[in-house]
Structure 1
Amino acid sequence: MVVPDKTIFIQAVNFIVTIFVLNVLLIKPIREIIRKRKGLMADQLEKIEGFNADAESKVADYEIQLTAARKEASDIRSAMKDEGTAEEQKLMSVAGEEASGTIQAARAEIKAEVKGAMTQLTKDVEKFAEAATGKILGQA
């Protein structure tokens, strides 16, 4: 059994002094280091979250710009296609008119040749008739 005597007070004082010295030399500095690390971690986490939010906003802006560029390209392609179709119609119309003119000129030329041939045949019909009649009658 422990018998309390006057050394118990000395040990109590010694214990209190040791706790005070340990608190000053070890516990407070360690708590300060832990507090600084928590602050640093919170600051780093805040920076990371800010970076992620910035990256997300940049990606969203990129997507918006990409969509706008695709729409603009589609509009340009559509306009060029419409312009090409109009040019094609114009060229086809000109070619049709040229072909029509060529056909009409050919028909007129054929008509003139037929008329010339008919005229020539009309002139020669009397000769042919006389020659045929002469052959039929035996006068050749």
Structure 2
Amino acid sequence: MVTIDKTLLFQMINVVILMFLLNGVLYKPIKKILKERAEKMLGMQSDIAKFDKNARLRQQEVDAKMAKASGKAKAALDAARAEAQAAGDEKLASIKAEVDSYKEKQMAEITAQIDTARSGLQANLQGFATEMASKILGRAI
């Protein structure tokens, strides 16, 4: 059976002293370290959130700049293409005009040659007709 004597009182004082010693030596430093670790983790998480937000903002800026640069490049390409098309059309029109003038010149020459040949044949037509009739009839006309 349990008897209440000096040893019980001594054990109770011993337990109380042990609690104060353990609290001061072990529990408070561990609680302090855990609290500092939790604060450090919270700070790191806020830094991570801030860096993540900055990274997203930078990515959006880069995407916007890329879209703008792509638009400028497309506009420059379209302008160069239109300029090349206009230059090609102008060159083609120049060549076509040159070909048309050459064609008209050749047609004029051919027409002149046909007229010359026709007038030459017209002049000789009477002589040919008389000669052919003589050959066919076998006598001079």
The TM-score, its normalising length taken from structure 1, stands at 0.87
Q: Which moved more, 1:104-113 or 1:34-43?
A: 34-43
Pair 1:30 & 2:30 matched: yes
- Cα drift, residue 110 of structure 1: 0.4
Structure 2: 5+ residue runs without aligned partners?
none
Q: Which moved more, 1:122-131 or 1:77-86?
A: 122-131
Which whole-Å CA distance do the structure 1 matches of 2:14 and 2:122 have between them?
156
Identity of paired residues, percent?
25
- Output one character per residue of 1:77-109: Cα deviation in whole Å (capped at 9) or x when no partner: 221222222122212211211121111011100
Letter in 2 for 1:16: V
- Output one character per residue of 1:110-139: Cα deviation in whole Å (capped at 9) or x when no partner: 011011112211222232233234333613
Structure 1: 5+ residue runs without aligned partners?
none
Match of 1:84 in 2: 84
The secondary structure found in structure 1 opposite 2:2 is: coil
Which whole-Å CA distance do the structure 2 matches of 1:137 and 1:111 have between them?
38
Match of 2:139 in 1: 138
Letter in 2 for 1:91: K
Which whole-Å CA distance do the structure 1 matches of 2:7 and 2:106 have between them?
142
The secondary structure found in structure 2 opposite 1:33 is: helix
Which whole-Å CA distance do the structure 2 matches of 1:48 and 1:16 have between them?
45
Letter in 2 for 1:82: A
Which whole-Å CA distance do the structure 2 matches of 1:98 and 1:120 have between them?
33
Q: Which moved more, 1:119-128 or 1:87-96?
A: 119-128
Which whole-Å CA distance do the structure 1 matches of 2:27 and 2:35 have between them?
12
Letter in 2 for 1:65: K
CA RMSD of aligned residues (A): 1.9
- Cα drift, residue 11 of structure 1: 2.6
